[in-house]
Amino acid sequence: MVLEGVGVSAYLGAAANITDKGYLTAAGSILTTEARHNAWIRQARKGSPFASPYDIPLDFDQVYSLAAPFITSCPSDNPELPVKAFPKLTFTGKGVQPKGSSISFELPEDFDFPDSDLYLAWPVVTGPVFKLATVDTDAKTVTCEIPTDVIGPTGQSYAILTSSSTSLTDDNTLAGPAIVPVLAPYLA
């Protein structure tokens, strides 16, 4: 289920980078198939097959960060990939969280916190929503509230630790994305 959801986000995020109409049509065809796979798997697992009216686009490095743990090997003659994985950000809750609830994430033991405010960015189709993170440097955790004032995040959502409160780029991403299953408040 996770891989199908990430697949949808990957194809949606990559669409803006495809300039050849033939490739765009092929990628769009794959995207719709991934979305149907995702809906079927969600329903088979007793979840909502259509948890959100919008899917969430992710960029190449964000997708690779989520996919990297599933990659066990590559051929030795494979060229180096032009992507990087960000440090892991792990959702510490169990099950689905309602919008507006407080949520926590763990960071790797060797994570080095910068001396500045940190934010959790929630990518949504209209652009990321930022929440100030409460940081515990000793426990290596960050906490924030799930946004309620936007369409999304609902369903398979993502949170990304960043040093910016206004833009989400690979240059200001510190960790993540973490996968977070979120229910709209009226479904909680």
Position 151 scores a pLDDT of 62
And the tokens for 137? 């440097």
Averaged pLDDT, 60-68? 92
Classify domain 2-72+84-187 at the CATH topology level: Immunoglobulin-like (2.60.40)
Position 188 scores a pLDDT of 43
Averaged pLDDT, 43-63? 79
And the tokens for 170? 């690979």
Give the 3-state secondary structure of the chain: CHHHHHHHHHHHHHHHHCCCHHHHHHHHHHHHHHHHHHHHHHHHCCCCCCCCCCCCCCCHHHHHHHHHHHCCCCCCCCCCCCCCCCCCCEECCCCCEECCCEEEEECCCCCCCCCCCCEEEECCCCCCEEEECEEECCCCEEEEECCCCCCCCCEEEEEEEECCCCCCCCCCEEEEEEEEEEECHHHC
And the tokens for 94? 């169990």
48 has a pLDDT exceeding 80:
no
176 has a pLDDT exceeding 70:
yes
Question: CA-CA distance, 108 to 110, in Å (whole number)?
Answer: 5
Q: Average pLDDT of the chain?
A: 86
User: Above pLDDT 70, what percent of the chain?
Assistant: 90
